Chain A
Amino acid sequence: NAGVTQTPKFQVLKTGQSMTLQCAQDMNHNSMYWYRQDPGMGLRLIYYSASEGTTDKGEVPNGYNVSRLNKREFSLRLESAAPSQTSVYFCASRGTGIGGNQPQHFGDGTRLSIL
């Protein structure tokens, strides 16, 4: 089972370059999320999409844009990368179901370094 797939797994950028991180899920989930993980800070939500056609800001949205292309895909774009955006980026998806809130399922992460 593929689950949540992120590409690329690693990327090095120069300051000012642009980059789109791709995420796709095959679980027919409605909600999708982008997080960044920095040392000692856990995961912080950048943007999320509760359903196809909607996106909302999370805790740290500045410097990022997102697109919910369809139900499966949710991309994260850095228009002008900055060294402060060096991080590990995780995409997640969550379905709705009986029994309350379902857990989020995570991709393997994208390690992004900006020089």
Chain B
Amino acid sequence: AQKVTQAQTEISVVEKEDVTLDCVYETRDTTYYLFWYKQPPSGELVFLIRRNSFDEQNEISGRYSWNFQKSTSSFNFTITASQVVDSAVYFCALKAAGNMLTFGGGTRLMVKP
């Protein structure tokens, strides 16, 4: 069985603060893929990043960075110098064998001016 846990249900920060969203996953498969999606207040789901289980390199894209650690089964997401437009619900998701994508419960990030 696959499981994704996002322990932080809500985080509130002030603009320009750095914030890290945690994601812990469980799977017995050795080949799997991890994703982060953003859901802004308008409701659509926006794909942010994909990482496969064989690539533990961290990734940086502008103010966003991701830290993948197989040893702790974690795929954490950091926003540097947060902005009000970063306010959204962020979902971590896991795809292992088969066709199903398992989502975590989401973390609501509120960035206050």
A→B interface (CB under 8 Å)? 31, 33, 40-45, 48, 50, 56, 58-59, 88, 90, 92, 100-109
B→A interface (CB under 8 Å)? 4, 6, 9, 33, 35, 37, 43-45, 47, 50, 52, 91, 95, 99-101, 103-106
Write out the residue numbers on chain B whose beta carbons fall within 8 Å of the beta carbon of A101. Answer: 33, 50, 52, 95
Q: Please, could you name 27 A-B residue pairs with CB atoms under 8 Å apart, sorted by A? A: A40-B105, A40-B106, A42-B6, A42-B91, A42-B103, A42-B104, A43-B45, A44-B103, A45-B100, A48-B100, A50-B99, A56-B99, A58-B100, A88-B43, A92-B45, A100-B33, A100-B52, A101-B33, A101-B50, A101-B95, A103-B50, A104-B101, A105-B47, A106-B44, A107-B44, A108-B44, A109-B44
A45's contact among B43, B91, B101, by CB below 8 Å, is which?
Answer: B101
In the complex, the answer to whether B47 meets A104 with C-beta atoms within 8 Å is yes
In the complex, the answer to whether B9 meets A40 with C-beta atoms within 8 Å is yes
Q: Which B residue's beta carbon lies closest to that of A9?
A: B43
Alpha-carbon distance A90/B39, docked complex (angstroms)? 12
In the complex, the answer to whether B105 meets A42 with C-beta atoms within 8 Å is yes
Alpha-carbon distance A61/B91, docked complex (angstroms)? 22
Write out the residue numbers on chain B whose beta carbons fall within 8 Å of the beta carbon of A105. Answer: 47
In the complex, the answer to whether B91 meets A43 with C-beta atoms within 8 Å is yes
Q: Which A residue's beta carbon lies closest to that of B101?
A: A104
Tell me how far the C-beta of A51 lies from the nearest C-beta in chain B, rounded to whole angstroms.
10
In the complex, the answer to whether A103 meets B47 with C-beta atoms within 8 Å is yes
Write out the residue numbers on chain B whose beta carbons fall within 8 Å of the beta carbon of A56. Answer: 99
In the complex, the answer to whether A31 meets B52 with C-beta atoms within 8 Å is no
Closest 10 CB pairs of A and B: A42-B103, A106-B45, A103-B47, A43-B103, A101-B33, A42-B105, A108-B44, A100-B52, A42-B106, A50-B99
Alpha-carbon distance A42/B101, docked complex (angstroms)? 11
Alpha-carbon distance A101/B47, docked complex (angstroms)? 13
Write out the residue numbers on chain B whose beta carbons fall within 8 Å of the beta carbon of A107. Answer: 44
Q: Which A residue's beta carbon lies closest to that of B96?
A: A101
